[in-house]
Amino acid sequence: MRARRLVSYAPHELALEDHELPDRPPPGGILAEAAVTAVSAGTEIANYQGRTAQRPPDGAEPYYPGYSFAGTLLSVGDGVERLAPGDRICGPLPHASRVVEARPERLARLTTIPDGVAFADAALTQLGCIALNAVRTARIELGDRVAVVGAGVVGLLAARLARLAGGRRVTSLDLLAARRDAATRNRAFAALDPADPRVEERLAEIAPDGFDVVFEATESAAGFRSAFRLAGRGARVVLLGSTRELVDGFDPYADVHVKGLRVLGAHVSTTPAAATLNDRWTESENRRVLLELMQRGELDVEALVSDRIAPAEAPEAFAALAARPQEHLGVVIDWTRA
């Protein structure tokens, strides 16, 4: 069976290539056909640029990007009982027209898509799981004042989920007007420009003693510093944006110690692989909740997508996200387009 997939053989290179797949999945595996995959503008672009340890050294082996898939099961191998041919599924599968997957840990993270939820929305649940893990890590209580530094897709999802979890006066901060507009459409209490000379006055009106919970969702050193300065005494600062650089100008004494802050790492890998009495929120369970919120109209993600592209346009889109991330929000690949 012929299929197409995205592949990178060196940093800043991406291609759409044909490859062969078996007509039937192996025992315990699945064969799925993609409808839509979503691009992670953080991790995937960092890997594409060669800025992380996740991709091998140049030429060692190819990098196959993608972990936000939505499509239909074509067939399942012997021993697969939870999923069936014809199921609409979403989860961590790569950018490809068709995929064979047999790794148990990957299959456990796949979730069926309920009626009424579009493939493009379902594809964003992977980024939603990242945001929801951070919101759960923050342990938001009803009435907590919440700030989110960065209004990219993950930051916007964190802001919306924080409000659903009981956060109040949920305030987004971003340098880009288009993203502040997206935050306003996403029901932010306020969407502020950190460079505005009046921003300190506005923040003092919203949270006179500082915010109770602050999410850093920019992956930049400037955003990191800003998050700590927004936090009030005893606040929780949640590191969501995967900052991949050393941070100059960070003062642990003034920014953390004196305030009595709790600094929380919320990488998606901290989500439990299996439910326990203390934490039942696996990635699959988080995805189920997100899909239910979408189905009920409580989580609208359509406005988070700025670009819908054909697979052949993906190399250009990845280059644009690397060079001009400020011009894009969510990017999805429509595999039904030739």
pLDDT over threshold 70, residue 260? yes
Asked whether residue 89 falls in the same domain as residue 142, the answer is no
Asked whether residue 149 falls in the same domain as residue 113, the answer is no
Question: Would you state the pLDDT for residue 59?
Answer: 61
pLDDT over threshold 80, residue 85? yes
Whether residue 288 is contained in a domain is answered as no
For residue 235, give the CATH number of its domain: 3.40.50.720
Question: Would you state the pLDDT for residue 56?
Answer: 64
Helix (H, G, I), strand (E, B) or coil at 320: helix
Of 90-99, 121-130, 268-277, give the lowest mean pLDDT range: 268-277
Asked whether residue 119 falls in the same domain as residue 168, the answer is no
The 10s digit of each residue's pLDDT in 219-238 is 788 889 999 999 999 999 99
Mean pLDDT of 37-52: 88
Residue range of the domain that includes 143: 130-270
Question: Would you state the pLDDT for residue 338?
Answer: 66
DSSP 209: T
Where does the pLDDT of residue 38 fall: very low under 50, low under 70, confident under 90, or very high at 90 and above? Answer: very high
| Rounded Cα distance, 150 and 169, in Å | 16
Domain end position, chosen among 270, 288, 317: 270
Q: Give, in order, the Cα–Cα distances in Å from 332 to each of 45, 129, 227.
A: 14, 17, 29
| Rounded Cα distance, 179 and 186, in Å | 10
Question: Would you state the pLDDT for residue 58?
Answer: 62
The 10s digit of each residue's pLDDT in 172-187 is 999 999 999 999 998 9
Whether residue 66 is contained in a domain is answered as yes
Question: Would you state the pLDDT for residue 229?
Answer: 94
Mean pLDDT of 77-106: 95
Whether residue 6 is contained in a domain is answered as yes
Asked whether residue 152 falls in the same domain as residue 251, the answer is yes
> For the chain, how many structural domains are there in total?
2
The 10s digit of each residue's pLDDT in 45-66 is 988 988 877 776 666 788 999 9
- CA proximity to 112, closest of 131, 138, 86, 139: 86
For residue 26, give the CATH number of its domain: 3.90.180.10
Mean pLDDT of 11-40: 95
- CA proximity to 216, closest of 244, 196, 190: 244
Whether residue 282 is contained in a domain is answered as no
Where does the pLDDT of residue 129 fall: very low under 50, low under 70, confident under 90, or very high at 90 and above? Answer: very high
Residue percentage of the chain with pLDDT more than 90? 78
Asked whether residue 195 falls in the same domain as residue 251, the answer is yes
pLDDT over threshold 80, residue 256? yes
Where does the pLDDT of residue 245 fall: very low under 50, low under 70, confident under 90, or very high at 90 and above? Answer: confident
Asked whether residue 73 falls in the same domain as residue 185, the answer is no
Question: Would you state the pLDDT for residue 268?
Answer: 84
Asked whether residue 6 falls in the same domain as residue 54, the answer is yes
If one compares 94 and 278, the residue with the highest pLDDT of the two is 94
Asked whether residue 28 falls in the same domain as residue 93, the answer is yes
pLDDT over threshold 90, residue 246? no
The 10s digit of each residue's pLDDT in 319-335 is 999 988 878 899 999 99
Asked whether residue 79 falls in the same domain as residue 182, the answer is no
The 10s digit of each residue's pLDDT in 135-152 is 999 999 999 999 999 999
Asked whether residue 219 falls in the same domain as residue 118, the answer is no
Mean pLDDT of 86-110: 95
Asked whether residue 236 falls in the same domain as residue 157, the answer is yes
Whether residue 241 is contained in a domain is answered as yes
Residue percentage of the chain with pLDDT more than 70? 98
Question: Would you state the pLDDT for residue 242?
Answer: 76
Whether residue 284 is contained in a domain is answered as no
- CA proximity to 151, closest of 58, 33, 240: 240
Whether residue 99 is contained in a domain is answered as yes
Give the chain's mean pLDDT: 93
Buried b (16+ CB within 10 A) or exposed e, 221-246: bebbbbbbebbbeebbbbbbbbbeee
Whether residue 40 is contained in a domain is answered as yes
Asked whether residue 208 falls in the same domain as residue 227, the answer is yes
